[in-house]
Structure 1
Amino acid sequence: MAEPPVRRRPRLGVFKFASCDGCQLTLLDCEDELLPLAAEIEIAHFVEASSDVQPGPYDLSLVEGSVSTPEHLERIRRIRAESRRLVTIGACATAGGVQALRNFADVAEFRATVYAKPDYIETLATSTPISAHVPVDFELRGCPIDRGQLIEVITAFLADRRPDIPDHSVCFACKRRGTTCLPVAHGIPCLGPVTHAGCGALCPAYGRGCYGCFGPSGSANMPAMIPLLRSDGMSDEDVLRFLHTFNVAKFAAIEPEREDP
């Protein structure tokens, strides 16, 4: 009697570009969740976890980090060509990260200030999200990403369905937790109304205003948000600094134009 054919397990690749590795560490921290999943997939490329690196193609590729060097441009195109599905994870991969502050300054000046031998450093003038260069099947927000959302994304794509990741704001999560609204009750500046949910409203739960680590939500109303921040005592410079952090490129794209003094 012939033996049944061996079922081919979907192949997973995890790749890093310009980033702090925090989102990859989130995946490694999913120990209990990964145990049953590991039997269903083949982790073919994940340098953070194993030196056993296998070539493509990959059924699902997770990409952390922004495109910040000429080498990144060539590499991300190669990974896209080898990937059936490509998902970007974290603020660096989805928005360019905090390093996208270079997009609003002179990168040559930064390079000369930081490095003793800037001639040896190859870098682009901008830090850009992966989607600016290749088609992306899904963007998972966060700095770092949420482990529950990450597992949902992996299982969804391996099952050929769309991930169930809502696009509401942090305010919705605050209501679910029963957290008192910090701007209303205490006059504390908070980006919750314009920030994509996913963190579980962690900062507001401990009395700190949201600072937008998951980037703007799809319904972000920045023209209404800026006056609220000013009413909570923030100057124009304070507002600018508040928005220019992990998702500076995303928030800058929807900021209302400031009037000249």
Structure 2
Amino acid sequence: MTARPKLAVWKFASCDGCQLTLLNCEDELVPLAGEIEIAYFPEATRAVVEGPYDVSLVEGSITTPGDLERIHQVRAVSRRLVTIGACATSGGIQALRNFADVAEFRSVVYAHPEYLSTLDRSTPIAAHVTVDFELRGCPIDRRQLLELLAAELTGRRPRIPTYSVCVECKRRGSVCVMVADGTPCLGPVTQAGCGALCPAFSRGCYGCFGPQDTPNTRSEADRLRALGMGEDQVLRVFRTFNAGSEPFRQESRRHEPQEQPQEQPQEQPQEQEVTS
């Protein structure tokens, strides 16, 4: 009898939402469990089957020295390593620390910051080890997750789109909220995957799935400003779930307040001696 492939699910700095997406695949989990062996998944069971593992799903970003050491251990015991969610693929919301002074954050939030051991930056898994596939989202989409697992079981590449949310809007017949209502929306620069959920309820896209494959963020920012957003607001919309993704990071940098040069004191005109 052929042994079932071993699946492991690992958590780093994250909220557990992407792991819960897997647990919420209720109807699909039973047949799935017959095809694979869930060997390591602390969110679901305390049982542990020793590796190596055929597929590892990794949620969360690298934010501590311990994380940095552990991700190399995970990579060493994983034949295929797949990152799931915005934290693992771009550093997550915690990547906001990358634009600030972490020491200052620690001093404000914690009574004894000296007890903490943390890195100055929150980074995606791919910044440290080889990643075989990235599944985007905050959280990930259950349909894409099941497609990913099916692809891994059959040895093919997952059919995950890299085009924009606008394509999903068109497919479901949703009216463009930016054109029709003047609602700021990141759909044109955001990767599809959610089914255009927010625009379907007349709300602008928040960019949960990160940048699409060819994002024109400069043009998007120009459009947002034309809709009434100030520079500070444009900066904020690019610094949410995927603040650490390179296209969004670069665009947000363009809207940071510029230091104004100090005004030089004007020279007082010298009184001229009047001669008669």
TM-score, structure 2 length as denominator?
0.91
Q: Distance in 1 between matches of 2:118 and 2:136?
A: 25
Moved over 2 A (4+): 253-261
Among residues 177, 191, 199, which one is paired with 1:196 in the alignment? Answer: 191
Q: Which residue number corresponds to residue 244 of structure 1? A: 239
- Aligned CA-pair RMSD: 1.2
Tell me by how many angstroms 1:256 deviates: 7.2
Measure how far apart 1:254 and its partner are: 5.1
1:197 and 1:17 mapped to 2: Cα distance?
A: 25
Could you say which residue in structure 2 is the equivalent of 1:79?
74
SS in 2 for 1:249: coil
Superposed CA offset, 1:169-225 (max 9, x none): 000000011111011111000000000000000000001100100000011111211
Q: Which amino acid aligns with 1:257?
A: R
Bigger mean CA offset, 199-208 vs 31-40: 31-40
CA–CA separation in structure 2 for the residues paired with 1:177 and 1:199: 12
CA distance in 2 between partners of 1:106 and 1:98 (Å): 15
TM superposition shift of 1:154: 1.0
Q: Identify the residue that residue 171 of structure 1 maps to in structure 2.
A: 166
Alignment pair present for 1:257 and 2:248: no
Greater CA radius of gyration, 1 or 2? 2
Deviation string 1:82-131 (CA, Å, 9 cap, x unpaired) is 00000000000000000000000000110111100111111100000000
Q: SS of the residue aligned with 2:35?
A: coil
Deviations, residues 233-254 of structure 1 (Å, cap 9, x unaligned): 1001010011110000111145
Structure 2 counterpart SS, 1:24: helix
Letter in 2 for 1:180: V
1:39 correspondence with 2:34: yes
CA distance in 1, matches of 2:85, 2:251: 19
- Structure 1 unaligned runs (5+)? 1-5
**Of 138, 142, 145, which aligns to 2:137?**
142
- Report how far residue 258 of structure 1 moved: 4.7
Match of 1:26 among 16, 21, 25: 21
Residues 50-90 of structure 1: per-residue CA shift (max 9 Å, x gap): 00012210000000000000000110000001000000000
Of 88, 92, 98, which residue of structure 1 is paired with 2:87?
A: 92
- Partner of 2:151, secondary structure, is helix
The gaps in structure 2 that reach 5 residues or longer are 261-276
Measure the CA separation in 2 of the matches of 1:167 and 1:49.
Answer: 30
Choose from 37, 48, 53 the match for 1:53: 48
Amino acid at match of 1:100: A
- Counterpart-to-counterpart distance in 2, 1:20 and 1:83: 23
TM-score by length of 1: 0.96
Q: Could you tell me how far apart the structure 1 residues matched to 2:252 and 2:191 are?
A: 16
**How high is the sequence identity, in percent, across the aligned residues?**
64
> 1:87 aligns to what SS in structure 2?
strand
Q: Distance in 1 between matches of 2:177 and 2:253?
A: 24
Matched positions, count: 256
Q: 2:227 aligns with which of 216, 232, 235?
A: 232
Partner Cα separation in structure 2 for residue 54 and residue 208 of structure 1: 45
Q: Is the 8 A contact 1:223 1:256 kept in 2?
A: no
> Is 2:255 the counterpart of 1:222?
no
Question: Structure 1 residues 134 and 35, CA, compared in 2 at 3 Å: closer, same or farther?
Answer: same
